[in-house]
Chain A
Amino acid sequence: MFINRFSFTLLLALCLVVQSPRVLSQQESVNDSNGAASSNESVQQAQDDWGDEWGDSWEDSTVERNPLTLSGFAEIAVGNRFYNDPAINASKTLRDARIQVRADYALSASTVRFRGDLYYDGVKRGWKSQLRELAWQGSLSDLGKWGERFDLKVGQQVLTWGTGDYLFLNDLFPKDFQSFFAGRDDEYLKAPSASIKLSGYFDAFNADVVVTPSFEPDIGITGEVFSFFSPQRNDNIAPAFVVADDNTPNNEEIAVRLYGSVGQAEVALYGYKGYTKQPLSLDDTGRPRYSRMNAYGASVLMPLGAGIANAEYAYYDSVEDGNGANPLIMNTQSRYLLGYSQELYTNVTGGMQWYTEVIHDYDALISHSPFPAFEQERYRHWVTTRITYMALRQTLTVNAFLFYSPTDSDGYLKANVTYSPGDTWQLRSGINIFKGDNPNTFWGQFEDASNAYVALRYFY
């Protein structure tokens, strides 16, 4: 029944794709001051009078004329799961009616940026808002000659670094896995944080220091939309899960990156002082909490053959569990990543990554764990592949990304099609399919979360 409903939705999406050119061409012709009906006429007019052909003027749209630029989009997104999830018993995985407003205000030598989302979440049945950016950004040149080497960005912002594709080792900025699994646009995989970012640019290297005064955790899988495995119950559960305030630190996080180029290679060193981004540890009464974590790492990214190769390492030091014997606290880990991407054929790009998590003090973990059978393997390997195909002058993009773990025998296929025939409308449709041999593994636990979605976006 769910599958049937879904086939219908996909069929509908397909019809939209096929039908939309005509609909959209009508839309576009509104902006055409000449009302050009056929392309031949347009060509003729293009040669006759460029000014008319453009329709609108430069002045309206050039940034330097008007310090304030306003834009954004409205979006409707609908997604359903393929199978029934007994822990949740609702088929909806995505029901967004969303509007995003972007406003940039240019000051004489700096910018104030705003990006905010307001949406009705039909799965959680309520209005939600997310302030994705409200930040001042500028250089410190007013403070003297030395200040020319520094940029400062203060306020709510989205931050990203590191070399992985959908894999984050040294990037410990907040992420939103719920949006990622539900098929929201990739933009929403990165959650914002209220941070201060100081960037310094020097001859030999550059440096970023990011201070987030109050710890900002990931938006994880909470049970409102997707269920997850509980070792205590030996089954999936879906509590409207909130980490208690007294288990959520409000101390600062500090992230540092030193980076530079060596020839065509880009190298970087990373450091982090803060907490596990997900509530992987437990307090004495068994409630989830965030425990102290420091991280150190390095990466290199460089052209290799016809493509780009990257390697990254991160050491997650679980400060509160130095010897790994505390079953309530996450163990120290090492994480390794090797990646390569290149164009395979014209308009087709392929990428591949090998990712390994190594749990330190593994024997201590197993001997103290109340659920040794459900503990992660000492070595967890993931292989990922990505294929991207662009067609119709890049108005159609097909993306397929597969996570596969040979050690956990599970995987996650994330595939989507994006069609943007004009500057205003965009249709996006895709699937998120989780599969695993065991119900307790990282991807395996989300089998019943497998879903498909369709989203229609209007840019203004």
Chain B
Amino acid sequence: MRLTLKNGVLKRVSVSFLISLLSTAALAQAHIDAPVNDENSVNSIVLNAEKAAYYAGNDGKSLARMMIVDSQGRKQMRQFTILRKDVVDDEGIDTGDQRMLVFFSRPTEVQNTVFRVEKHTDLNTDDDRWLYLPALDLVKRIAAGDKRTSFVGSHFFYEDVSGRAIAEDSFTLIETTDTHYRLNAVPKKPESVEFTRYVVDIDKATFLPTQIDFYKHDNNYRRVEAVKVDTIQGYPTVVRSKVSDLETGGYTLMEFRNISYDVGLPDSIFSERSLRVPPQDYMD
């Protein structure tokens, strides 16, 4: 789950935790001391998250790998390094925009391929995306696409990775347990997505979503879950996650390793230069 503010106005909260490392899992910082005063209020959950967002790490890096298993049990692997940095305005306030580089090392077919994203929180501005294809030495700008399509062939969607704007859904609190808030989310533009609603469990202690079940009417056809959470530099971080296609039995596992926050990544590395010459100093 991710939240950012601009001029005090809630612009975007995404319930994606897949790359929560990349998208300021820090909002879930354990020392959030403000209790949720009104546990029946979605707004208060959001406001607490907002408060936590100010403590977010400014950047992060990690190794990641995915195992994609299709309905027949066939496996594919992806391994990559991710660098991400939050964009701040002149006053040093997090704008919610993010810069991201994904360097693929496996499989052979995509080795040395680099994916670059300039993520914009403004709902009217599409993210800028580039792909570097080393065999052709080609930097290809990619047209904005349906964000609910496969991310590099996995069961994760691009939107699971980049984050879905909370402004796109209407939330209601279904229940509160000892450990979790359970929210129901209904898309404001149902024609733009394949689901009719989703149910998300948010850990009360960390504010990390631990499970999201997507429904087409009553059919729960897709699940995204946090399998393992570690605390890294004080930030609870999802280090293993899983997305399942409940209709076919296919699923994708994702695991992070060598995570570090507040690395001090310079702005300059988020550029075309790094596509051709990866910044090795920051990738170990």
- Listed in ascending order, the chain A residues whose CB lies under 8 Å from chain B are 21, 24-25, 28-29, 31-32, 36-40, 42-43, 46-47, 50, 53-55, 58, 61-64, 69, 71-73, 102, 104, 106, 109, 111, 115, 137-139, 151, 153, 157-160, 186-187, 189-190, 199, 201, 206, 264, 266, 301, 303, 306-308, 341-343, 346-347, 349, 390, 393-395, 420-424, 426, 459-460
Contacts and interface: CB of A to CB of B under 8 A. Distances in A.
Q: Which 8 A-B pairs have the closest CB atoms?
A: A423-B107, A459-B108, A187-B135, A343-B145, A39-B249, A394-B153, A71-B108, A307-B143
Contact of B76 (A32, A138, A189, A423): A423
B69 A39 contact: yes
B240 interface: yes
Contact of A459 (B70, B107, B135, B139): B107
B244 interface: yes
A43 B251 contact: yes
Describe A's contact surface by its main secondary structure: mixed
Given A50-B240, A50-B255, A62-B63, A39 B73 contact: yes
B253 interface: yes
13 contacts: A21-B72, A28-B73, A32-B75, A39-B70, A58-B63, A63-B105, A69-B111, A104-B112, A157-B137, A303-B126, A307-B144, A343-B143, A459-B109
Contacts of B138: 160
A460 B108 contact: yes
Nearest to A187: B135
Interface string B137-149: 1110111111011
Interface stretch (B32-40, B178-186, B272-280): B272-280
B136 A61 contact: no
A55 B105 CA distance: 17
B70 A62 contact: no
A158 B242 CA distance: 38
B217 interface: no
Given A32-B75, A61-B79, A423 B273 contact: no
A343 B136 contact: no
Contacts of A308: 141-143
Nearest to B68: A393
Given A187-B136, A394-B152, A71 B272 contact: no
A21 B250 CA distance: 15
Interface string B35-75: 00000000000000000000000000001010111111111
Contacts of A206: 272-273
A242 B216 CA distance: 64
Contacts of A459: 107-109
A203 to B, nearest CB: 9
Nearest to A109: B280
A426 B109 contact: yes
Most buried by A among B149, B227, B277: B277
Given A28-B74, A39-B249, A393-B154, A190 B137 contact: yes
Interface of B: 63, 65, 67-77, 79, 105-109, 111-112, 126, 128, 135-139, 141-146, 148-150, 152-155, 227, 240, 242, 244, 249-251, 253, 255, 257, 268, 271-273, 276-277, 280-281, 283-284
A448 to B, nearest CB: 29
B65 A54 contact: yes
B137 A159 contact: yes
Contact of A137 (B68, B146, B277, B284): B277
Given A43-B251, A151-B273, A343 B144 contact: yes
Contact of A264 (B108, B128, B135): B128
A46 B273 contact: no
A347 B281 CA distance: 36
Nearest to B277: A151
A346 B146 CA distance: 6
Given A53-B67, A201-B268, A62 B105 contact: yes
B226 to A, nearest CB: 13
Contacts of B143: 303, 306-308, 341-343, 349
B255 to A, nearest CB: 7
Given A40-B249, A393-B155, A422 B106 contact: no
Contact of B128 (A46, A138, A303): A303
Contacts, number: 166
B69 A423 contact: no
B193 to A, nearest CB: 11
Contacts of A157: 137
Nearest to B272: A206
B63 to A, nearest CB: 7
A421 B75 CA distance: 9
A158 B138 CA distance: 9
Given A50-B240, A201-B271, A206-B272, A423 B277 contact: no
Contacts of A151: 273, 276-277
Nearest to B284: A64
A43 B249 contact: yes
Contacts of A341: 143
A270 to B, nearest CB: 15
Contact of B108 (A42, A47, A72, A343): A72
A25 B240 CA distance: 25
B225 to A, nearest CB: 10
A307 B129 CA distance: 11
Contacts of A25: 72-74
Contacts of A395: 153
A63 B278 CA distance: 12
B277 A346 contact: no
B153 A422 contact: no
A421 B69 CA distance: 11
A149 B236 CA distance: 37
Contacts of B67: 53-54
Given A50-B227, A58-B63, A459-B107, 20 more contacts: A21-B72, A31-B75, A32-B73, A37-B73, A42-B73, A58-B79, A69-B105, A73-B108, A109-B281, A115-B135, A153-B276, A306-B126, A306-B143, A341-B143, A347-B149, A349-B145, A393-B155, A423-B106, A423-B108, A460-B108
A219 to B, nearest CB: 15
Contacts of B276: 137, 151, 153, 199
Contact of B273 (A36, A199, A303): A199
Contacts of B271: 201
A46 B251 contact: yes
